[in-house]
Amino acid sequence: MLACYGWLRVRLSNKPALLILTYHRILPADSPERAVEQPGMVTSPQALENHIRFARKLGAEPVHLSDWLDRNRQGKPLPKLAVAFTFDDGWQDNYQYAYPALKAQNAPATIFLVTRMIDTDKTFWPEQVLSLLTSKTIPENDPSFDWLRRHMPEGAAHDTSRPLSLLEADDVIARLKSLEDATILASLQQVYTSHPDMAPAETSRSILSGSELTEMAKNGLVMYGAHTRHHYRLNRLKDEKTLKEEIVGCLQDLKSLGEAAIPVFCYPNGDITGKGEALVSDNYQAACTTKTGWNLAGCNPYDLHRFNLHDGNSHSNRTLLATIGRGLL
């Protein structure tokens, strides 16, 4: 039903419409990295390939997000139905697995970068927490884990003698979001200092490098938008100086990347504050939210809606259409 509804809505729109599809990580089904990633973050390369093919079948024209926004701003004609592929966070697997799929089908894309993570071996705190909780048991009565223990599954439900399952750990991530990002990162650092065996092992780099960014931008296929400097959720920031650095500083970093940089902001975790919104509209031409839905000609460019996709909600054409249909209800 939802798939039929989705199909009808996108085919029969009487105003030009833009579907923005959001992806995070693109990982093959057998990738070991899936074991330490939130399921809602991962799409297989095959599913992405299918989405590109199926979007064209539906009559959607793949466009650069910034091109559609420029035409919309200038009141120029827009395709009846357009689709923009976007990727959040700047994962290295976007180069390894998404870029070949985009190139093969000549589908333009925008990657929203966390600029101070580029060319580092850092990873985000949810991945660090997932890795810790699914591989180690948390020692009882050790104060360096108090912050984590407070957000663990309820007492009896969790047996402290074993590591958590991926889904249990995913639940802890959701609970930890009540804390400020910098607090979580500092607490993790403390754990690694007092328990060096728990520090992340030397693994492969998870974030894009400068040379990968240059290569993907070379033929104009991939462009880059802003996703803050450190992926701090804006509503958790206490001081205005940091807020400004995360929003305005990120654009400065992005501009140093050259022509592929576009003044489009993407809110980490979709979290918005009044002051943050003002800084975004003063410095950027548009902003992506985590609100679900499509964008019609004449829409507010600072309130772009998207469809967040992952294997769980878009592994087949039917589930993809149902996800779109649900988002258009």
Q: Which stretch binds Zn ion (CB under 5 A): 83-91, 99-107, 147-155, 161-169?
A: 83-91
15 — phi, psi (to 5°)?
-120, 145
Binding to Zn ion by residue 127, rule CB under 5 A? Answer: no
Nearer to Zn ion, 89 or 170 (CB): 89
Are residues 86 and 288 in contact, defined by beta-carbon separation less than 8 angstroms?
Answer: yes
Residue number with CB closer to Zn ion (23 or 294): 23
Which window, 87-95, 184-192, 238-246, 278-286, contacts Zn ion (CB under 5 A)?
87-95
Which span (85-93, 136-144, 248-256, 283-291) binds Zn ion, by CB under 5 A?
A: 85-93
Of the candidates 59, 32, 50, 19, which has an alpha carbon nearest to the alpha carbon of residue 206?
32
> Which residue, 62 or 268, has its beta carbon nearer to Zn ion?
268
Say if residue 220 is exposed, middle or buried (CB neighbours under 10 Å; 0-12, 13-18, 19+): exposed
Residue 56 CB, shortest distance to Zn ion, in Å, is 27
Three-class DSSP category at 99: helix
Looking at beta carbons only, is 97 or 112 nearer to Zn ion?
Answer: 112
Buried b (16+ CB within 10 A) or exposed e, 75-97: eeebbbbbbbbbbbbbbbbbbbb
Q: By C-beta, is 269 or 313 nearer to Zn ion?
A: 269
Scanning 89-97, 156-164, 240-248, 310-318 for contacts with Zn ion by CB under 5 A, the matching segment is 89-97
Closest residue to bound Zn ion by CB: 88
Question: Which tokens in the block code for residue 279?
Answer: 């800084």
Figure out which of the listed residues 20, 36, 60, 89 binds Zn ion, where binding follows CB under 5 A: 89
Torsions phi, psi of 195, nearest 5?
-135, 80
Selected from 88, 93, 245, 246, the binder of Zn ion by CB under 5 A is 88
Provide the mask over 233-272, with x wherever binding to Zn ion is found by CB under 5 A and - wherever it is not.
-----------------------------------x----
Per rule CB under 5 A, count of chain residues that contact Zn ion: 3
C-alpha 253/C-alpha 241 separation (Å) is: 16
Q: What is the spatial distance between Cα 167 and Cα 13, in angstroms, rounded to a whole number? A: 38
Cα separations (Å) of 163 from 167, 173, 192? 12, 15, 17
User: Which residues contact Zn ion (rule: CB under 5 A)?
Assistant: 88-89, 268
